[in-house]
Amino acid sequence: MSGSLTLPHDIVKRLKKHAEQAALRDSGWLHLDPTRLHPAAVLVPLVCENGQWHLLFTRRALELEDHSGQVSFPGGAWEEQDGDLEQTALREAWEEIGINPASVIVLGKMARFDMVSYFQVTPVVGVVTWPQELNVNTREVARAFMVPIDWLADPHNYQSKPRQFEGQTFNIPYYNEYDGEIIWGATAQITQEFLRLLQN
């Protein structure tokens, strides 16, 4: 891969178009009952450090009921007080790792993502003012870490592995280990979808 990935000048337009797509399915899962899906949102935090764009991820605490110990974007279920899903993503990022909502420039949303855990997740893409000190809520998050988008976009760094779930076989995306962490599953899918949006 030549050159470094940058944010296209029309990224807001690209995100708006992407958000108008039909909902994407977690690993191609075919049998999700839409009436059982709960609205949720994640912040896809873009950070520019040393002239290079990164995505900021978290590893969820082992004590959590949903997706414990997995790498994810900061986020969670919609609450009535949020009003909209953009506010859900910003609130959760503040509660989980201390990102001040005022320090985030929201660029837009991606298409909703239907997950096998019965959440319908809206990824909200935002540029985070950097540097800033994170305040990790250890009850929810084990650690926060950044990965360069050039590394994430390099096809040598990810692969698909078959996995059985409820009688179906799915090809699950896995990244190679980076900084001791493995990004896989829904978070890897959202990441790759975002990278396609940047590149196409």
Determine the Cα–Cα distance for residues 121 and 36; give it in Å rounded to an integer: 13
Q: Which pLDDT score is estimated for 2?
A: 46
Q: Give the model confidence (pLDDT) of 88-131 as tens digits.
A: 999 999 999 999 999 999 999 999 988 877 788 999 999 999 99
- Residue bearing tokens 């990244």: 175
DSSP the chain: --S-----TTHHHHHHHHHTSPPEEGGG-----GGGPEEEEEEEEEEEETTEEEEEEEEE-TT-SSSTT-EE-SEEE--GGG-SHHHHHHHHHHHHH---GGGEEEEEEPPPEE-TTSEEEEEEEEEEPSS------TTTEEEEEEEEHHHHH-GGGEEEEEEEETTEEEEEEEEPPBTTB--BHHHHHHHHHHHHHHH-
Domain ranges for the chain, please list them.
11-199
Q: Which pLDDT score is estimated for 31?
A: 58
Q: What is the pTM of this model?
A: 0.91
Phi-psi region of 18 (alpha: psi -120 to 50; beta: other; left: phi over 0): alpha
The CATH number of 11-199, from 1.20.1050.10, 3.90.79.10, 3.40.50.970, 1.10.3720.10, is: 3.90.79.10
Q: Which pLDDT score is estimated for 4?
A: 81
